[in-house]
């Protein structure tokens, strides 16, 4: 993930916490706030409840890689919070959970990319 895709300032994170819409799953929780920016920005929160530092950092690396692979469209600030079961999840499980939550939050399209059916 590029630096421009990260939520780095406290005021931006606070705005997402205050104004964002929450979406919850078994492995992850999201807070999503629409913005007018050309690209989406992400922040990752992994508490000590998930595990020791090595485990928390592994979860964060996997989530950053999943976001880079999913290529979410611009216009959103997103905080991804890992829940305790995320420690035992594989990369593919985390990516699937993240994609599902991003679709529920209407960040990703519900249908796959390509031409619309019937066109």
Identify the CATH number of the domain in which residue 66 sits.
3.30.230.10
Inside any domain, residue 93: yes
**109 CB-near residues (< 8 Å, 6+ apart):** 103
pLDDT band at residue 111 using 50, 70 and 90 as cut-offs: very low
Inside any domain, residue 17: yes
Inside any domain, residue 118: no
91-104 vs 53-70: helix crossing angle, rounded to 10: 60
Q: CA 90, 85, 53, 47: dihedral to nearest 10 degrees?
A: 130
Inside any domain, residue 113: no
Does residue 119 register a pLDDT over 60? no
Inside any domain, residue 74: yes
Per-residue pLDDT tens digits for 5-29: 889 899 999 999 999 999 999 999 9
What number is the average pLDDT over the span 82-105? 96
Inside any domain, residue 63: yes
**CA 18-21-25 angle, 5° bins:** 120
Query: Which range of residues forms the domain containing residue 67?
Result: 3-104
- The answer to whether the pTM exceeds 0.95 is no
Inside any domain, residue 110: no
What is the tally of structural domains in the chain?
1
Inside any domain, residue 115: no
């Amino acid at each position: 993930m590029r630096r421009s895709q990260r939520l780095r300032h406290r005021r931006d994170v606070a705005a997402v916490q205050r104004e964002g819409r929450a979406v919850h799953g078994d492995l992850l929780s999201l807070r999503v706030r629409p913005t007018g920016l050309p690209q989406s920005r992400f922040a990752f929160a992994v508490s000590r409840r998930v595990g020791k530092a090595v485990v928390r950092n592994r979860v964060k690396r996997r989530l950053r890689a999943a976001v880079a692979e999913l290529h979410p469209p611009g216009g959103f600030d997103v905080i991804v919070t890992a829940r305790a079961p995320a420690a035992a999840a594989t990369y593919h499980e985390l990516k699937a959970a993240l994609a599902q939550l991003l679709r529920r939050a209407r960040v990703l399209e519900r249908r796959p990319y390509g031409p619309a059916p019937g066109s």
